[in-house]
Amino acid sequence: MFRHRNLLFTLVVVLSIMLATACGPAATPAPVEEPTQAPATEAPTEAAATEEAQATEAPAFAPGTTITYLASQDWIKESEMQLAEKFEAETGVHVDFQIIPSDQYFNVLETKLESGGEGIDIFGGQSGKTDIKLQLNVEKNAVPLTDQEWVTRMNPLSVEQVSLDGETYGLTAWDTVGGSWVMVYNKTIFADNGLSVPTNFAEFEAACQAILDAGITPVYEPVADGWHHVLWFLEMGPVYEAANPGLADALNANQATFAGDPTMLTALTQYNEMYDKGYFGADALSNEFVNTEAALASGEYAMTVNRFGLPSLIHEAYPDVAADNFGFFIIPLADNQIWNVNPAAPSKFIYSGSKNIEAAKAYFEFLTRPENLQYMLDNEAQFTMLNFEGITAELSADQQAFFDTYTEQGTVYQTAVNYVNPQWMDVGQDLTAMFTDAMTPADVLASVDQRRTDMAEAAGDNAWK
């Protein structure tokens, strides 16, 4: 059997040789070309696979992606809205700004967050450790941003005010130094009445009376918004601290009270007297912040509490009114002469339940590019400088004069003292009640203390146990 198989195999080989010989040279390339054709067929296959992968790969953001940004009135500047348009042109992501009146904002935000945050991708809030913990509950409601590159360029004091337990939750792109709230005054009105910049409250009161006697309302105070008139009280933290060193720490340790501090009582008493004497005019309770530029440009008011950028805003809205017609000095309640600085400011947070977290992060990254921050500064008259490295600020002569005059700085109490800033609008209601004789200055201080106690106990603060 074995021999038969060998014979069969021999016949097959012989026949194969004969067949190859008969077919001639035309048939011989086949076995030679076969190995060279393999790479030629593999290359198109790899290219096709790459093209197919590129064709099916999802874009960075789905077409029509929109991020909704909920914010309080005056927190979103026109320059940011313009940058948002550039962001959309670059990424295809639209930013939908939903601006809420300031006296309603936190109620609206709280309601939305408690109901699951539907429709929110980014929300605004005041920074400050107490605020972001108690009012915003960022550990639950916000996305940690600690690993974002721009955090390393943001002012460390600002970073601290949007951080808890080593995690950074917010973006603060604001004029936290040049954004100080100071007295902005009409230099022409002062000169016409022989007045100089006051250095204590008695001089300030005398200036107000002289201006009033000249038929001009001394101060434009927009009480109707519910927040602005609180500045006179809480921005005075530096003078409270100077009069009683360590007071902020004592308040945070529940070892002192607002009602027990004589300097606070003095400041509120003087403030109330200003209203009673007509220094804010007959329309203070109905005046609105949005009308500040018009009020100062008209010459019907001599002063207001605002920021270093106000003169430029006035000139921008009313070109016939020169920006250098306005100067600056410290709010002098309780004889204060210390520059009130607040490292906290309106900030942006990404909602933890957002479906567009990466798009929101991309928006933050876009805003914090040095060229875009510079654009924001250059195109926002309200800002004198920004709290980021690498931004160039130009100061006017009047701004520089203020910086040279008031070299001592202190932190405002809404940031230095726990459980204060979250009750800002409540304090505003109390101060309005004080103006209308429904509360006394002492009542206002006691009311602040009670709310602080309520919040501290609700937070389980050990100092209140």
Q: Is the pLDDT of residue 52 over 50?
A: no
Note whether 340 and 331 are within 8 A (CB): yes
Model confidence band, residue 59 (pLDDT cutoffs 50, 70, 90): low
Q: What residue has token string 């602040």?
A: 448
Rounded Cα distance between 284 and 301, Å, is 12
Note whether 444 and 434 are within 8 A (CB): yes
Which two structure tokens, joined as six digits, stand for 224?
Answer: 């109707």
| pLDDT of the residue at 40 | 36
| pLDDT of the residue at 389 | 93
- CA geometry: angle at 16 spanning 13 and 18, to 5°? 110
Q: What is the mean pLDDT of the chain?
A: 88
- Torsions phi, psi of 337, nearest 5? -135, 20
Rounded Cα distance between 360 and 117, Å, is 15
In tens, the pLDDT along 15-27 reads 343 333 333 433 3
- Torsions phi, psi of 463, nearest 5? -70, -20
In tens, the pLDDT along 148-161 reads 999 999 999 899 99
Return the sign of the alpha-carbon dihedral for residues 152, 158, 160, 164.
negative
Three-state secondary structure call for residue 331: coil
- Torsions phi, psi of 330, nearest 5? -75, 145
Which two structure tokens, joined as six digits, stand for 440?
Answer: 């006394």
Q: Is the pLDDT of residue 124 over 80?
A: yes
In tens, the pLDDT along 298-336 reads 999 999 999 999 999 999 999 999 999 999 999 999 999
Which two structure tokens, joined as six digits, stand for 49?
Answer: 């696979």
Note whether 267 and 194 are within 8 A (CB): no
The residue type at 364: F
| pLDDT of the residue at 404 | 95
| pLDDT of the residue at 222 | 98
Rounded Cα distance between 250 and 247, Å, is 5
Rounded Cα distance between 194 and 446, Å, is 40
Between the CA of residue 337 and those of 222, 283, 330, 400, 415, what are the distances in Å? 24, 29, 6, 17, 19
| pLDDT of the residue at 44 | 38
Rounded Cα distance between 277 and 331, Å, is 18
The torsion of the CA quartet 129, 134, 140, 144, rounded to 10 degrees, works out to -10
The torsion of the CA quartet 71, 399, 424, 430, rounded to 10 degrees, works out to -130
Give the contacts of 142 (CB within 8 A, at least 6 positions apart): 132, 136, 169, 170, 349, 350, 351, 352
In tens, the pLDDT along 184-236 reads 999 999 999 999 999 999 999 999 999 999 999 999 999 999 999 999 999 99
126-143 mean pLDDT = 93
Look up the pTM and report it: 0.71
The residue type at 14: V
* Closest C-alpha to 315, from 398, 207, 230, 210: 398
Note whether 130 and 167 are within 8 A (CB): no
DSSP labels, 45-87: HHHHHHHHHHHHSPPSS-TT-EEEEEEETTSS-HHHHHHHHHH
